[in-house]
Amino acid sequence: MAKGKVFLIGAGPGDPGLITLKGRDWLNKADVVVYDALVNSHLLEEAKPGAVKIFVGKRGGQHAKEQREINDLLVKQAQRGRLVARLKGGDPLLFGRGGEEAAYLHEHHIAFEIIPGVTSASGAAAYAGIPLTDRRLSSMITMVTGHEGDGKNLSPVEWSRISRKSTLVIFMGLDQLPTITERLLHHLWDAELPAAVIRWGSTAHQEIVEGTLGDIAEKAREAEMTSPVLIIIGDVVRLRKKIRWFDTKPLFGKKIVITRTLEQAPEFARLLEEAGAEVLSFPTIQILPPKSWEAADQAIHDITQYDWLLFTSVNGVRAFFNRLKILGSDIRELKGIRIGAIGPKTSARLTDFGLKVDAFPDEYRAEALADVIGQVKDCRVLLARAAEARDVLPDTLQERGATVTIAPVYRTIKTRRIAGDVKKRLLAQEIDVVTFTSSSTVDGFMQHFSSREKRRIFEKAKAAAIGPITAGTLKEHGVRPAIRAPSYTIEALARSIVKYFV
């Protein structure tokens, strides 16, 4: 069997967007992903379906695997002919033991590549608003480790030889911070020199304690800071007051739950994360094909007989045209048929297919679509929608003289498997906002909690609804929506959440 290859990839300091394009590319291709505790879990979603994911980090003070075991694991996986992505926090060669792993691979004749990453020093400092160098304050950086491990309490750093004019960056030094500051003061460093301790830099969990060399150890203790942290000492820390940007975002520190399907969550999550929020996915519904395609197939077969083709969701558009393709047809079959859509996303998706939308209401509701269509007496209307949905639109059109055919092209079911960690955080009242983008997401969410648990969750968390129908469903469950979007889009809902907290 041909030998595989190992890619030592720097995952960056925490923000999953800071991995390099090359690192993400090989992560997408890897058969096996071996990752540390400091790797953002969202990066694991980049692995291809079926990839084996092996955790080898340190949690609760305990190593999942010792370094020698990790080395052997990489060799054995590569010897089986697999592509291995070894994901390491920050940069693999900066206090990451990547050099040891690369040397071990070389000794065992395993091909490897090293893909650098954004270091935790540069990444965490940037997200804290601290430039490591500044021509007015410091033109030198000294990076040291606070401990060496293997029973050693303090790293063998010659503190007396570090220039007092440099920016000092200390990795893994929280436990030894009192001793480190004492040694620096002993070597005549200024006690008033600015200092900062950064925890979970570049992530929505980011915490920063500021002080001086003389008091930073005590302030970190009072703030109950825990590892992992990065410590920065130097005049450049003063600039944070002017150039901090990340922790001033409107939703920074807010924890927001998205209840959309896994496929639809990323777009909404991106909007909230750009505003600084920590986003947790709690998919309460799943989109599946209808139990039977008979009605939809018959409608597609008779498509030329219809005057109107209506869509009430992006899911309906996607499913309808996928089925059209499967049946060997294409959009030419729709010549002469007028098309109506609810919502800008649905309309935009139709436009992507090169279709003109003839009816598009300003208000994104079924009732509004019926009104904007106008005269439908003696018209034949095809409604491509979910198997179970409100009947307001077909009922209204039929009352006005139309013949309406409902073609179920997808169905929505409640998700049985849920994110246990998110549920625990909801019940622990750690969540600030729970978002709902349809009545089905409300029903799907509520099924997982007792009445008492729901009351507890929404004592702290604010419910955010995309429109009046969704808001009404929340009220049926005894939850008053605190946030409502003025228009029924995820962009408007994201803006409404920001406005609520600003």
Name the residues annotated as catalytic: 36, 58
Query: Looking only at Cα atoms, what is the longest distance across the chain?
Result: 93
Please list the residues that pair with 63 across neighbouring strands: 58
Question: Can you read off the two tokens belonging to residue 421?
Answer: 């960690």
Q: How far is CA 496 from the centre of its chain?
A: 20
Contact status, residue 90 vs residue 10, Cβ threshold 8 Å? yes
CA pseudo-torsion sign 24, 26, 30, 33: negative
Buried b (16+ CB within 10 A) or exposed e, 194-224: bbbbbbbbbbbebbbbbbbbbebbebbeeee
Q: Extract the runs of DSSP E, i.e. beta strands, from 178-325.
A: 194-199, 207-212, 229-233, 255-258, 278-281, 285-288, 308-311
User: CA torsion 74→77→79→80, rounded to 10°?
Assistant: 180
Q: What Cα–Cα distance (Å) separates residue 46 from each residue in 30, 289, 320?
A: 10, 25, 28
Return the number of other C-beta atoms located less than 10 Å from residue 243's C-beta: 11
Q: Among residues 384, 375, 365, which one has the least CA distance to residue 402?
A: 375
> How far apart are the two ends of the chain, measured CA to CA in Å?
60
Helix (H, G, I), strand (E, B) or coil at 252: coil
Reported as type and span, the H/E element at residue 35 is strand 32-35
CA dist., res. 142 & res. 180, Å (int): 14
Contact status, residue 137 vs residue 235, Cβ threshold 8 Å? yes
Contact status, residue 385 vs residue 311, Cβ threshold 8 Å? yes
Q: Extract the runs of DSSP E, i.e. beta strands, from 239-327.
A: 255-258, 278-281, 285-288, 308-311
Buried b (16+ CB within 10 A) or exposed e, 148-177: eeeeeebbebebeebeeebbbbbbbbbebb
Instruction: Look at strands 111-115 and 5-10 and give their pairing.
Output: parallel
